[in-house]
Each structure stands twice: as C-alpha cells, then as structure tokens.
Amino acid sequence: MKNGRGRVVLVAGGAGFIGSHLCDALVSEGAHVICVDNFRTGRRQNLFPLRHDSRFEFIEADVIDPLKPSLLSSRVPIDAVFNLACAASPAHYQAEPEHTMLTNVLGTRNLLALAQKKRARFLLASTSEVYGDPDVHPQTESYWGNVNPTGPRACYDEGKRAAEALTFDYRRAGRVSVRVARIFNTYGPRMRADDGRVVSNVITQALSGKDITVYGHGSQTRSFCYVADLVDGLMRLMDYDGEASGPVNLGNPIELTVNELVARVLAMTGSRSRVVNRPLPIDDPRRRRPDISLANELLGWSPRVALDEGLEATITWFAGEGAKVPAGVKATGRAKGLGGAAAGLAVS
Ligand code: NAD
Ligand code: UDP
C-alpha cells in the first residue's frame, strides 16, 4: 500500500475469503490492520498467518450493531476503512436475507460514520450483482442495471445498491472520502468448499469424483478474477488520490460459459466426474463481463493471473484442504501471487 507503513486500516469482513487476503497484503506492506468480523461466513483459519503478528488485531463483532466504544475512542486512529462485510455466495446470503440486507444498509452506515469520525477513507466492496441480468454487455459503470427488486437475490443486489447510494450520499455531503469497487466473480484459495459457488463446487466435485452440477444448460457466462489480482485492485483504489466520481469495476474481462469452466477443471484435474444438469436458480444472470477501462485508466490496473494459473493454485489448495482425491487425479501447482504465509496455507 502506498505510504502503507504505519497506517492503520480497518477491514470489515476480514476473516472472509477476499478480506483475509487483503489483511495479509496490507500487513505485509507495513500497515497495522484491525479486522472486524462476526465469522458468519468467514473462518478463523483464514487469519492463522497473522495470528502472532503485532501489526494485526481482531475484533469479533457484527457491523449491524453499534461499533465497540474502543473503536470509536479518539485514542484509536484509523486512516482507511474497507467494508467487505457481507456473505458473497448466493447460498449463504439467501440463507439469511434479512441479515444480508441489514449488513449492507446498517453495517455500511456504521462504517461510514466511523470513517467520518476518524477522517478515514472508506471503500465499499460492492458487486457486479448491481447490474442484475444485464442488458448492456460488457457492463460499464454507467449502466444502471436490471435487478429484480423482490426476488431471492434482492437482499444482496438491492442491499449493495442501497449501500452504494448511502456511500455516495456521504460523499455528496462532504462527510467522507469514498471509493466503491464493483467486484466481479472472484476465486482462489480460501473459498469455502461449502459455499455453493461454481468454482468451489466444480473443483471439489472434480477432486472427489462426484457429479459436476451444472445449473441450466451451462451456457450462462461469468468472468473470473483471481483473488490476488482483485486485492491489488482494491488496494490501488483505496490509494487513488484523484476524484473517482463513481464506482469502479474490478474483475477479469475474460468471459467463459459455465460449461467451458467445467471442461477446464476436468482437464486440469484429470477427473472422470460426470456432468449433471440441475435447474437454473431464479434470476440467475445470463452473462457477466466487466468493462475495466476505468480501473485501467485511473489505477493502471488490470488482472495478471491467467485463468489456468489461478485455477491450478485453487485446485491445489482445495486438494490440500482435505477434499478426497481419487487415484490418478492431479493436484499440482502453487498458490500464485499470494506470497508469504498465505501461499498454500495449511488449514487446521
Ligand atoms: P465471504 O463470505 O468469504 O466474506 C465476507 C466476510 O464478512 C465473512 O468473513 C463474514 O463472516 C463477514 N460478515 C458478513 N456479515 C457480517 C456482519 N454483519 N458483520 C461482520 N462481519 C460480517 O465473501 P467474500 O467472497 O470474501 O466477499 C467479500 C466482499 O466482496 C463481500 O462484501 C462481497 O459482497 C464482495 N464481493 C465478492 C465477490 C466474490 O466473487 N467473492 C464478488 C462481488 C462482490
Ligand atoms: N453454477 C453452476 N453449478 C454450481 C454452482 C453454480 O452451474 O454448482 C452456476 C450458477 O447458476 C451461475 C454461475 O454458475 O450461473 C455462477 O454462480 P456463482 O454462484 O459462482 O456466482 P454468481 O451467480 O453469484 O455470479
């Protein structure tokens, strides 16, 4: 992080998949990190590499609740607040829709108020889901989206849209210097095997020889970004000193169908799993691909990790995490671009 040495950075949702990699990267660049998480979908083991680091502290709390007085104390300086708190997997955020919505609205408000009090920068981890099932392709930040406001995904999609609105209201009122990242599908080590997302499902199914579940015909597309690239983009956006007047897409523009993803994972693992088709979930977006011109122009950012490299690192990690690997299935490669203790993290 630019000028990171000595900076105090709060990461809400820091025990999660992306948040824990962000905490690692911030600490390794010299920041002091305060991680806030309620372990709803995050895991203690994600924080193992940092557990003895004096530059890292953890507060178990739900951001929906009023923040701890210790955090609000004027003796605790905070220079930057990353708000990543919110389940990202459809299965998890739909399991507790009210909590998802309140996390986005009340949690974001609490963290914005904290940033205002501390005169800290604030970054919201928003999502490509604000584009819903898009009529504009690829998705540019100027597209307002096509979201079902009452469907099962609404707690997340509309929650994030409300969080964005609140964030820009704080900016308009001159209360906080804000940034909003619209994150597209991200994958890598530390995804939960049980989170129901396509990358984790397909890899764990391939490694264990179980049927690969393709929802619908598998012709829907997504664009998958490796987590190290995404974390780099988030840090650049937080460090950006200019005026980004709106949200910034962060994702890998290489688009593929679910069937193409499955074929790659089967080839890379040598798995003989069968592909079975299951019903397409309600409101499942048909296609998704970021236009990242703005991130490229403002931040000089574009993803560097090729899909095969990222998948190899992720497959290796899932194989090491305890997935049952039948004889003949390959599990090679190293966790790419995660550096230090995070690379190939052994989980207990
Ligand atoms: P994750 O579920 O692994 O991490 C979310 C973290 O937030 C977890 O540690 C969870 O315990 C914590 N959390 C949830 N609600 C909380 C609350 N009320 N109070 C405190 N902590 C809470 O998900 P992720 O994939 O790491 O996603 C991180 C952020 O990025 C999320 O805000 C998500 O919406 C956004 N995002 C992720 C993706 C992706 O593909 N992973 C895509 C778009 C946006
Ligand atoms: N998907 C699938 N099989 C699975 C899990 C997901 O075919 O086992 C599909 C899902 O319907 C969607 C795509 O893969 O079209 C991406 O799903 P994911 O949950 O990973 O992300 P999101 O829908 O939030 O983009």
Q: Do 8-186+225-250 and 188-223+253-287+305-343 agree at the fold level?
A: no
Please report the pLDDT score of residue 111 as a whole number. Answer: 98
Please report the pLDDT score of residue 180 as a whole number. Answer: 98
Cα Rg of the chain (Å, integer): 19
The residue among 21, 116, 117, 122 whose CA lies nearest residue 81 is 122
Confidence of residue 244 (pLDDT cuts 50, 70, 90): confident
Kindly state which CATH superfamily the domain 8-186+225-250 is placed in.
Answer: NAD(P)-binding Rossmann-like Domain (3.40.50.720)
**Residue of 127, 160, 215, 282 best suited for mutating to test ligand 2, as the one with most atoms within 8 Å of CB:** 215
Pair of tokens at residue 270: 């040598």
Distance 191 CA to ligand 2 centre (A): 14
pLDDT at 242 over 90: no
Contact 140, 151 (CB under 8 A): no
Report the percentage of the chain scoring pLDDT > 70: 91
Contact 290, 184 (CB under 8 A): yes
- The atom of ligand 1 lying closest to the CA of 40 is 11
Greatest distance between any 2 Cα atoms in the chain: 61
Confidence of residue 1 (pLDDT cuts 50, 70, 90): very low
* Mean pLDDT to the nearest integer, 238-243: 91
Residue nearest to atom 29 of ligand 1 (CA): 84
Please report the pLDDT score of residue 338 as a whole number. Answer: 35
Please report the pLDDT score of residue 126 as a whole number. Answer: 98
In CATH, what class is 188-223+253-287+305-343?
Answer: alpha beta
Which residues lie with the beta carbon below 6 Å from any ligand 2 atom? Answer: 90, 185, 197-198, 201, 213-215, 220, 222, 258, 281, 284
The residue among 15, 7, 18 whose CA lies nearest residue 230 is 18
Task: Give CA separation, 121 vs 9, 11, 70, 239, 252, in Å.
Answer: 9, 12, 19, 9, 25
Number of helices (H), then strands (E), in the chain: 11, 13
More confident residue, 345 or 262: 262
Distance 227 CA to ligand 2 centre (A): 17
Confidence of residue 5 (pLDDT cuts 50, 70, 90): very low
Please report the pLDDT score of residue 337 as a whole number. Answer: 36
Q: Which ligand is nearest to the CA of 186?
A: 1
Residue nearest to atom 5 of ligand 2 (CA): 198
Distance 15 CA to ligand 1 centre (A): 9
Which tens digits make up the pLDDT trace of 167-193? Answer: 999 999 999 999 999 999 999 999 999
pLDDT at 150 over 60: yes
pLDDT at 137 over 60: yes
Q: What average pLDDT does the chain have?
A: 91
pLDDT at 155 over 80: yes
* Mean pLDDT to the nearest integer, 210-225: 98
Annotated domain spans of the chain: 8-186+225-250, 188-223+253-287+305-343
Which tens digits make up the pLDDT trace of 317-332? Answer: 999 974 444 444 443 3
Please report the pLDDT score of residue 330 as a whole number. Answer: 43
Pair of tokens at residue 250: 């962060």
Residue nearest to atom 14 of ligand 1 (CA): 86
**Residue of 198, 289, 314 best suited for mutating to test ligand 2, as the one with most atoms within 8 Å of CB:** 198
Residue nearest to atom 19 of ligand 1 (CA): 62
CA separation for the pair 149, 54 (Å, rounded)? 44
Please report the pLDDT score of residue 164 as a whole number. Answer: 98
Distance 129 CA to ligand 1 centre (A): 13
Which residues lie with the beta carbon below 6 Å from any ligand 1 atom? Answer: 13, 15-19, 37-42, 62-64, 84-88, 103, 107, 125, 127, 183, 185-186
Residue nearest to atom 33 of ligand 1 (CA): 88
Please report the pLDDT score of residue 156 as a whole number. Answer: 98
CA-angle at 311, arms to 307 and 314, nearest 5°? 145
Which tens digits make up the pLDDT trace of 281-329? Answer: 999 999 999 999 999 999 999 999 999 999 999 999 999 974 444 444 4
Distance 20 CA to ligand 1 centre (A): 10
Of the given ranges (11-25, 168-182, 304-318, 334-348), which has the lowest mean pLDDT? 334-348
DSSP 12-48: ETTTSHHHHHHHHHHHHTT-EEEEEE--SS--GGGGG
Q: Look at the chain and count its residues.
A: 348
Please report the pLDDT score of residue 329 as a whole number. Answer: 41
Task: Give CA separation, 214 vs 204, 277, 338, in Å.
Answer: 13, 5, 29
- The atom of ligand 1 lying closest to the CA of 14 is 9
CA separation for the pair 226, 283 (Å, rounded)? 25
CA separation for the pair 77, 89 (Å, rounded)? 33
Per mean pLDDT, which of 240-244, 262-266, 339-343 is the most reliable?
A: 262-266
Which tens digits make up the pLDDT trace of 47-83? Answer: 999 999 999 999 999 999 999 888 888 889 999 999 9
The residue among 132, 288, 280, 283 whose CA lies nearest residue 217 is 280
Please report the pLDDT score of residue 336 as a whole number. Answer: 37
Half-sphere exposure of 252 (CA within 13 A, CB side): 24
Distance 234 CA to ligand 2 centre (A): 23
Please report the pLDDT score of residue 72 as a whole number. Answer: 86
Active site residues: 156
CA dihedral of 14, 19, 20, 22, whole degrees rounded to 10: -120
Please report the pLDDT score of residue 269 as a whole number. Answer: 97
